[in-house]
Amino acid sequence: MSRAAKSRQAAALAVTEAADALLAWLRSQPRKAETCRPAGDEPLTPPELQAAVDQASAEPAPAPDALVSSESAETVVPDGPAPVSDWLHRYAPQRLAHPDWLFHRLRVSGSRADLAAFRAAAAGAGTIPWQLDLARMEEDFFHLLIAPPRRLSLRGARILANQLQAAVAERHALAVARVGQSQACPFDLHVLVPVPAAMLQRGPDDATLAWLWQHWGTTQALRHVSIDAAAEAAARRALARGEETFVVTFWSADWTPWRALARIAMEWPRLRFEIRPIYEVL
């Protein structure tokens, strides 16, 4: 690796570490300002800011230790697109302010040729390439930093908000640059059920998150998507000759991505899809 490449890598690592530290500090601050905000005002953490935080710092997923349900997931065919004016009324109440991440195992089975084609089509960067409003994001960070009990001066909060926005913008740009190039994610919902360009341009506001809920059944990109080689090997023993299986595990926000899977199953009718959430045993 050249000296220039090492320098760029070190700079990117420093930006990443700074973003992680700043976001961790910001999340640890008390949120008393929320209780004083009038009911009709915009929430303290708007969707754009939450999505930016998600892009910059993925929440760690605990290792699952659970039983798998023996019942197959119900396949529901998505309804026709709802009018834009109906989205917020119909779907926004289903989206939690702070997502509960659910662990899933998806198994796709079929002929070797069909499954190979599906695996090639499903691989992507695993990122939704939103266009973020960076100026608004910086203002949102600033107002969070000066909210009671304030521990920073106005000037200090402004400087920190600018640094945090720059770090998030850097990481988001790196993630977006991988879209269309990387195939590191073996099951990418944005590749299989793409978010329309008009929605990407809006950024992750209430209307676009409602679109995700309506068409994906979850409001964020899947996280920690990985191939379960052990489950694939175990499933092969029950398959017919000439068939193959593809097993992935992932975490989804709040719900199973059932609407996306219903559409994917319709577009790949010669494959069999089986998904099950796995709940922790307390």
Instruction: Map out the domains of the chain as residue ranges.
Output: 1-60+132-178, 61-129+181-282
- Mean pLDDT value across residues 8-25: 55
Is the pLDDT reported for residue 229 higher than 90?
yes
- Mean pLDDT value across residues 239-244: 89
Among 3-12, 38-47, 157-166, the range with the most confident prediction by mean pLDDT is 157-166
Higher pLDDT, 78 or 130: 130
Percent of the chain with pLDDT over 70: 65
Closest CA to 109 of 230, 227, 224, 238: 238
Distance, in Å, from the CA atom of 278 to the CA atom of 68, rounded to the nearest integer, reads: 5
| Confidence grade of residue 9 (pLDDT, cut at 50, 70, 90) | low
Is the pLDDT reported for residue 280 higher than 60?
yes
- 59-100, pLDDT tens digit by residue? 344 444 433 333 333 434 344 444 545 544 555 545 666 788
Distance, in Å, from the CA atom of 213 to the CA atom of 223, rounded to the nearest integer, reads: 16
- Is residue 215 within 8 A of residue 221, CB to CB? The reply is no
Return mean pLDDT, the chain: 76
Higher pLDDT, 251 or 66: 251
The per-residue pLDDT for 19 is: 56
How would you list the strands of the sheet with 243-253, edge to edge? 66-68, 272-280, 101-111, 243-253, 223-227
Least confident among 64-68, 170-174, 187-191, 214-218: 64-68
